[in-house]
Amino acid sequence: MHPASEFRPPLAPVSTMLTADERLRVDAAGQGLYWTMHRDSLDDVIRDVRERGASAVVVSVARCTQRDAARVATMVREFPRVPAVALLTAVDPGTPQAVLSLGRSGVRTLVDARGPAGWRQLREALAADRAGDLARLALAQLAADLAGAPAPCLRFFDALFTSPPSVSTVCQLARYFDVLPSTLMSRFFRARLPAPKRYLAMARLVRAARLFESAGLSVANVADALEYSSPQSFGRHVRAALGLTAGQFRRRYDGEGMLDRFRAELVTPFAPVLRTFSPWRER
């Protein structure tokens, strides 16, 4: 269905280091919730988190040795917003030590999947973590801020936080909704609302602030994840929007703080208008 008619969130990417049998079962457990990137080393898993936007990590207790513990600890420390789940499907003499090592490394969720209930627990654990994502928080708060607003208005705000990073201009946003850019811009102008370009730019900075919460991500990593043309382009965007350098922006805002600023500047002062506003005519 077209995104302007109904929004369906994309599946979450999950990076794994599992046995061959576990890979098949994790894939089956995640249908409709996540898609998997199966790796053979923790270095590759960390690369998925840093460069490919993995939203969670699942590691097999059977695959993690004590030598891996330091790498797991580094990953958990550098990417605190990316949940790490240890998966147990079999027990051997080395299992207790492996579980203890993972716990000392900062892994807080252990799923015992030796029975059918375990796979449901894995799915629920990843679903709960995904529900805590900043995009979902943003949509929940905006739905409350704009209670009663027309459906196209709510879809517009949904798209700001859930459309692909490649949707970075008003023209691309208009194409996402299958409307003319001139239509989108003129409706905001006539309603005396901030330009859609301003909404889009600030929403991208909310996403950037969330990514910066992971110490392991550099400015270049964040710029690449959000599909800016270069770190310099990202820096210019931050300075134009907020009057800050990228480093100052990183130190001043986390994701929720930047979301609060988005709402304070672009939603709350205009809420009475937005609650009756439609960015395009329903077909």
CB atoms within 10 A of CB 77: 13
pLDDT at 131: 45
pTM of the complete model = 0.67
CA–CA separation, 162 vs 196, rounded Å?
A: 16
Hey, what are 78's tokens? 């550098």
Hey, what are 30's tokens? 């995640």
Which parts of the chain sit beneath pLDDT 70?
1-10, 127-132, 282-283
CATH topology of domain 12-131: Rossmann fold (3.40.50)
Of the chain, the end-to-end C-alpha distance in Å amounts to: 14
Written out in words, the top-level CATH class of the domain with range 134-274 is mainly alpha
CA–CA separation, 283 vs 280, rounded Å?
A: 9
Would you say how long the chain is, in residues? 283
Q: Where are the domains of the chain?
A: 12-131, 134-274
Q: Mutual orientation of helices 170-177 and 196-212 as an angle, nearest 10°?
A: 100
